[in-house]
Amino acid sequence: MKIFLISLFFTTSAFAVKFKVGVLAPEGTAWSKNLKKMAKEIKKETKGKVKFKFYFGGAQGDEPDVLRKIRVGQLQGGVFTGKTLGEIDGNVRLMELPFNFGSDRKKAWNVLQKMSPTFTESLEKKKFVSLGFFEIGMVYFVSVKPVKNLKDLKSIKIWSWAGDTLVEAMVSELNLLAVPLPLPDVLGSLSTGIIDGAYAPPLGIMALQWNSKIKYLVDLPLSYSVGAMLLSKKKWAKLDKNTQDTVLKISHKYVSKVNQANMADNAESLRVLKESGVKFLKFPDKDTQDVKVMRNKMLKTLTGKLFEKKTIKLFNKYYQ
């Protein structure tokens, strides 16, 4: 019996499909708690045939590092957002086109739900399998100086992601004074005057401690930020169809839990920012109309460069 059990252990271990996944979110967050539960449930329901090992807090590097490691086989998955997600498949970033949704988070969320199957199919063509899409949140512009209108926005130094096609289109269209910096440098740069402003969802503003430096928030979201948990399609193909269905069912459940937590945390972060004395500024009605025109110009600029025409057509159907 003992020999049989030992033999069984090594047999199951040898045939288990293991996914090592890089995640920037740190330990102790709703992300880490739910993804750990997800891994445990998947292992149980697949009887040990599928195992997930999550590396939190950027232990495997930032998102470009994780993507590179997947492509060379060192990792089998990652959680991707923004620029890196767009490098895998630009179509997903239609959700993040500046001034798409104004302050209408519910509309953005509904469009994301409807577009998810299309994005999933598009990602699969790029050799990635999606386990679900995340709402990171509405992206707000924050600053150390008052920004009461578009003219003010053009006169201050704003942090930007270097090499981000979508951000570059926004900087060009709005004629902004952009200062490309690595994300970890933003906090110190707000202190020293290298930059006057930056942008992030409320949860990110708090997590990155920008709230300790900024004094103003423009109450007109720049964008709606999304993310996705992706696995290597090559590794995924090692699972039979029933096992794939089990993993997808369980992962969707926990992605939903993360999304619920993100929605609540973003709302709470906005409340805390306001109560801490950060002033919420409204743009004039004319400016809010002007940015809609700019949004359409950016869409035209990025068609064929970042977005495919057929995906835009479907997006517009749900966007109306």
Q: What is the DSSP string of 250-263?
A: HHHHHHHHHHHHHH
> pLDDT tens-digit profile of 207-261?
899 999 999 999 999 999 999 999 999 999 999 999 999 999 999 999 999 999 9
Q: Are 297 and 173 in contact (CB under 8 A)?
A: yes
Distance separating alpha carbons of residues 160 and 163, to the nearest angstrom: 9
CB atoms within 10 A of CB 94: 27
Domains of the chain, earliest start first: 2-319 (3.40.190.170)
> pLDDT tens-digit profile of 17-33?
999 999 999 999 999 99
User: How much is the pTM?
Assistant: 0.91
Distance separating alpha carbons of residues 158 and 171, to the nearest angstrom: 9
**Given this model, what pLDDT does residue 268 score?**
97
Phi and psi, residue 102, nearest 5°: 60, -130
**Given this model, what pLDDT does residue 109 score?**
96
Distance separating alpha carbons of residues 287 and 285, to the nearest angstrom: 5
pLDDT in tens, the chain (320 residues): 555 455 444 444 457 899 999 999 999 999 999 999 999 999 999 999 999 999 999 999 999 999 999 999 999 999 999 999 999 999 999 999 999 999 999 999 999 999 999 999 999 999 999 999 999 999 999 999 999 999 999 999 999 988 899 999 999 999 999 999 988 899 999 999 999 999 999 999 998 999 999 999 999 999 999 999 999 999 999 999 999 999 999 999 999 999 999 999 999 999 999 999 999 999 999 999 999 999 999 999 999 999 999 999 999 999 88
Per DSSP, the residues of 256-299 read HHHHHHHHHHHHHHHHHHHHTTPEEEPPPHHHHHHHHHHHHHHH
Residue 319: helix, strand or coil by DSSP?
A: helix
- Eight-class DSSP state of 282: P
Distance separating alpha carbons of residues 121 and 114, to the nearest angstrom: 13
The conformational region for residue 217 under phi > 0 = left, psi -120 to 50 = alpha, else beta, is: beta
Tokens at 212, concatenated: 């300790």
Distance separating alpha carbons of residues 273 and 270, to the nearest angstrom: 5
**Given this model, what pLDDT does residue 15 score?**
77
**Given this model, what pLDDT does residue 14 score?**
54
